[in-house]
Amino acid sequence: MPAVGRRDVREDAIVETKSAFMVVRIRFGRGPVVTRRKGKNSRIALLASSLLTLISICLLSLGIWRLCQDVNLAGDFIFADGFLSHWQVWIAAAALTQYSCWRLSQYARMAHRRTEAATAREEKQAPSSVAANV
């Protein structure tokens, strides 16, 4: 029988209190397996490519607006002076944006081709057996 008034304190306890020490263990379920395959961000690349196309169109329209304002075919441009007041800046930005869009879509297509090839290879290797329930 334990002695009255005696506190049971574990030697590996982190905190000493008047109450008993409690160890809480939190266990998480297993998450998705991390793979090292190339092109696993192809969906995000395709989404970014789509959005960058829209941004490129907007930049090109600003460049054309500024060019038309220089030859007196359009009204006043948003930026009257400064770096952003030149049509070359806007068209160059549109071209660079469209180039990055093209590169992202190439990356996404390359990853899609690799996954299709791997799937086809796995289907060829797996023997298919058909059984009838008779």
> What DSSP element (H or E) covers 106?
helix 87-125
Name the token pair of 43: 């969906």
The pLDDT, as a whole number, for residue 25 is 84
Name the token pair of 46: 């395709």
pLDDT in tens, the chain (134 residues): 555 554 555 555 566 666 667 778 888 888 777 777 776 788 899 999 999 999 999 999 999 999 999 999 999 999 989 999 999 999 999 999 999 999 999 998 988 887 777 777 777 775 555 555 65
Q: HEC states along 46-102?
A: HHHHHHHHHHHHHHHHHHHHHHHHHCCCCCCCCCCCCHHHCHHHHHHHHHHHHHHHH
Residues 6 or more apart whose CB falls under 8 angstroms from that of 74 comprise: 65, 68
Indicate the burial class of 108 (C-beta count within 10 angstroms; 0-12, 13-18, 19 or more): buried
Name the token pair of 5: 């008034």
- Do the Cβ atoms of 55 and 47 come closer than 8 Å? no
Supply the pTM of this predicted model. Answer: 0.61
Q: What is the C-alpha to C-alpha distance for residues 86 and 92, in angstroms, rounded to an integer? A: 10
